[in-house]
Amino acid sequence: MGGAWERLLPRLTEIRDLSCALALLSWDQHVMMPARGAPARARTMATIESLLHERVAAPEVGELLSELEQTPPEDEARVASVTVLRRDHERAIKVPEDLVRAIAEHQSRCFQSWTEARAASDFDLLRADLERMISLKKQEADAIGHEGERYDALLDGFEPQMTTAEVETLFGDLVRGLKPLADAILDHAPERPAFLSDHYEVDRQEAFCQWLIETAGFDVSSGRLDRSPHPFTMHIGAGDVRQTTRYDPTDLLMSIRATMHETGHALYEQGLPEDLYDLPVGRIRSLGLHESQSRMWEIQVGLSRPFADFMLPHLKDRFPAQLGNLSPDEFYAGINHPRRSMIRVISDEVTYNLHIALRFELELALFRDELEVADLRDAFGDGMERHVGIRPESDAQGVLQDMHWAIGGLGYFPTYTLGTLYAAAFYARALEDLGDVSHDLRRGDVGRLLEWLRTNIHSTGSKAPGKEIAQRVLGTGLTVDPFLEHLRTKYGELYGPLA
């Protein structure tokens, strides 16, 4: 009959296969599926989601885990897998299958409503479906249970063992330090360079981005880059990591930043050890760590002076009329030009996390029953004015700009800022270990940095929660200091003293 581990393995494989099928259907929904396919896709994905929930919650899984906990495997990855699967199993058995199916079906419906509402810039077209989504996610949080508050249950799904109280403390420290610093930087910023809004043929942008992902180390034989309205990366299966970006003919920088960002995610997925693939620790559980990789490649690498110097000649070859006379100094200052932006995904590194602070604040208010969905439009506008200093002129610019709430991603937004903070700290630590990498980046050589990330972060998989992995790499807990120092140094060099 075999030991408990041997009996568990086929179940792990089946769980992984169902997850891969769900990922592929989701990728197709966002990239290629015709709009009229949404209702049928919702049913199909809900069926697979229910099957997956059933497999994870199966009593036989709990029995096998109990056997393995009494006599733990000797292999570290197996021990960690038992811990991770126990956590998944306990969460799964607490959530009724009919609720799992209801959420899965409503995700597709609500996403379609968001798509139509955003196109029409009319929040009222989404309101009823969003109210139901919030209600369903509250039911899910209450079913899972929590020691602190309801939001903890959802946050833990994206950032295991991180609590709302911890995130509130970090965000409080960040906003207190960032708002005056952002104001000082924005006060010193010159006029926005004209080249940022010039016309850049989309096909040439796409060709550049295809070249860029390979330069950054992405293995195109094990992945691909496509277009989607909202850039994302998805691990479909072994040897199949897919990323998307988007292009705007009047915004070259957006496509470069989005592509570097998603490549950071994709490199992390491609860096997971093959021998962990079918194990519970073979998936990345900490979205904060995941976001640290995307933000690092987007900001610390992609917007750095040496990498900007590397990119410029290649961009000039493709866009000689727009960039041919641009100096390296002008290009570097231009791609790092800060401004108050309505839209989170195109905001600069100075103001980006103020956008996230607002979303975290609104999510907490919703789940503390301090805010109704009906009041979300005005609350979003008030918060933008308070945090970023501008007020949305339309629903599309404001409350409808992100798809996360429509697909049930409540508790997700904080991981963007956690990732930003991790990225700054990891990069500073990498420089301590590697020395100056500017000569490498000026040649487009990311090999040493990527190997450092592979060794210290990627190869770990999910053998420990994200904050434990970070503690081991950094030797200290997460703080806002490395990120704020990064901004002070970078923009102090660009604009002079920021007092």
Instruction: Identify whether 25 is part of a domain.
Output: yes
Q: How many CB atoms lie within 10 A of CB 385?
A: 13
Interatomic CA distance for residues 196 and 167, integer angstroms? 35
Instruction: Identify whether 273 is part of a domain.
Output: yes
Q: Among residues 262, 291, 349, 361, which one is catalytic? A: 262
Q: 362 to each of 11, 44, 257, how far by Cα in Å?
A: 39, 32, 27
Task: Band the pLDDT of 73: cuts 50, 70, 90.
Answer: confident
Q: How far is CA 277 from the centre of its chain?
A: 21
Average pLDDT over residues 455-482: 95
List the strands of the sheet with 223-227, edge to edge.
Answer: 223-227, 240-245, 233-237
Summarize pLDDT for 211-270 with one digit per residue, the tens: 999 999 999 999 999 999 889 999 999 999 999 999 999 999 999 999 999 999 999 999
Interatomic CA distance for residues 461 and 79, integer angstroms? 13
Q: Say if residue 345's pLDDT is above 90.
A: no
Domain tally, the chain: 2
Q: Does residue 223 contact residue 266 with C-beta atoms inside 8 Å?
A: yes
Question: Last residue of a domain, which of 92, 110, 145?
Answer: 145
262 is catalytic: yes
Instruction: Identify whether 155 is part of a domain.
Output: no
Do 66 and 188 have their domain in common? no
pLDDT for residue 499? 66
Q: Does residue 474 contact residue 425 with C-beta atoms inside 8 Å?
A: yes
pLDDT for residue 9? 95
- Mean of per-residue pLDDT scores for the chain: 95
Task: Band the pLDDT of 407: cuts 50, 70, 90.
Answer: very high
pLDDT for residue 2? 65
Instruction: Identify whether 451 is part of a domain.
Output: yes
Do 113 and 44 have their domain in common? yes
pLDDT for residue 260? 98
Do 207 and 138 have their domain in common? no
Report the range of poorest mean pLDDT among 111-115, 177-181, 359-363: 111-115
Summarize pLDDT for 283-314 with one digit per residue, the tens: 999 999 999 999 999 999 999 999 999 999 99
Average pLDDT over residues 126-141: 98
pLDDT for residue 185? 97
Instruction: Identify whether 152 is part of a domain.
Output: no
Do 202 and 252 have their domain in common? yes
pLDDT for residue 8? 96
pLDDT for residue 108? 84
Q: How far is CA 254 from the centre of its chain?
A: 16
Do 48 and 180 have their domain in common? no
Do 205 and 133 have their domain in common? no
Question: Last residue of a domain, which of 118, 145, 172?
Answer: 145
Do 171 and 118 have their domain in common? no
Q: Which domain holds residue 331?
A: 164-495
Do 138 and 218 have their domain in common? no
Interatomic CA distance for residues 304 and 293, integer angstroms? 15
Instruction: Identify whether 90 is part of a domain.
Output: yes
Q: Say if residue 131's pLDDT is above 70.
A: yes
Cα-based torsion angle of the residue sequence 272, 273, 274, 278 in order, rounded to the nearest 10 degrees: -70
Question: Last residue of a domain, which of 145, 174, 203?
Answer: 145
Do 352 and 490 have their domain in common? yes
How do strand 233-237 and strand 240-245 relate by DSSP bridges?
antiparallel
Do 239 and 304 have their domain in common? yes
Q: Does residue 149 contact residue 164 with C-beta atoms inside 8 Å?
A: yes
Instruction: Identify whether 485 is part of a domain.
Output: yes
Do 412 and 357 have their domain in common? yes
Residue that has been written with the tokens 């896709």 in this structure: 41
Instruction: Identify whether 151 is part of a domain.
Output: no
Do 209 and 342 have their domain in common? yes
The DSSP bridge partners found for residue 237 are 240
